[in-house]
Amino acid sequence: METEQDKKAKRGRPRIDGDIAYQIELLARTQRWTPAQIYRHLGREKNYEGRVPSQKTVQRAVQRWRERDESGRWHLDDYDDDTARLVMPVLAALAGHTGGLVSSVSRDEARWIARVREAAPDMPPFFAWQAAVCYQQRAAEKADTEDLDLLLGFAPWKSGEAMDTLWKWALAHRPNWFGETRRDITPASGEKREVALTFAVAEGMLIASGIASERGWTGWPRRFFPPLEVQTGGSTS
């Protein structure tokens, strides 16, 4: 049960948008980057402009991730044959996607991988690992998993139609799964405009975006986010 001390610690913890938290963990795990390297990378990304947490916050996030799992490395004889059959394809996909930087999982990760693949046996293995890591983190923080649950339920990897259904539902019913940032641009005409860009912040939707990219569904999900352009100034000439 979550203690009052745990609740106070969470309340005092700086908020990190879901897409940034996801990127921090992915870089720390798959690239073995230091907090300083991750912080510099986030600062260079236009999509994170105005939302990048402090370097100390990034450092604490990386430290929490590293301390969270002390279950030890998973080995073939740790679980039954059914679990091994679920985990092995994920290990191969993980090694392939990371260029060999990551070729093992922890015992706790293996447990979550098995759960995810039992619930969604046809989910692409690398994305099953991503979902498992997110579930693992949410369980440690006693956080809600609705976006991940619906990712598995809608099964957007099955078809473009299934992917569209998930995004349309989420945009209509869970607008808090998305963020918005405004950016000034100056087109060739010299007319300065402010453009509102919408992006996913819920990890379930970020995983869906990765699946769409791997499937080669180009232009998706950008078509769901028509830029809202508001003129903020006249010609600069």
Is the alpha carbon torsion for 171, 176, 182, 183 positive or negative? negative
Report pLDDT digits (tens) over 45-102: 887 888 899 999 999 888 876 666 677 888 887 667 788 899 999 999 988 987 777 7
Structural domains of the chain, count:
2
Range of the domain at 48: 14-68
Report pLDDT digits (tens) over 5-58: 444 344 445 678 877 887 887 787 656 688 999 999 999 988 788 889 999 999
> Average pLDDT of the chain?
80
Q: What is the pTM of this model?
A: 0.72
Q: Minimal CA–CA distance to 53: which of 42, 66, 41?
A: 42
Could you tell me if residue 138 is inside a domain?
Answer: no
- Separation in Å, CA 115 to CA 23, 33, 192: 23, 28, 51
Query: Which pLDDT belongs to residue 22?
Result: 75
Could you tell me if residue 195 is inside a domain?
Answer: yes
Could you tell me if residue 129 is inside a domain?
Answer: no
Q: How far is CA 187 from the centre of its chain?
A: 32
Could you tell me if residue 74 is inside a domain?
Answer: no
Could you tell me if residue 117 is inside a domain?
Answer: no
Residue 114 has pLDDT above 90, yes or no: yes
Query: Which pLDDT belongs to residue 32?
Result: 65
Could you tell me if residue 27 is inside a domain?
Answer: yes
Amino acid letter, residue 78: D
Could you tell me if residue 4 is inside a domain?
Answer: no
Could you tell me if residue 116 is inside a domain?
Answer: no
Last residue of a domain, one of 46, 68, 90: 68
CA dihedral 65, 155, 215, 38 (to 10 degrees): -10
Residue 113 has pLDDT above 60, yes or no: yes
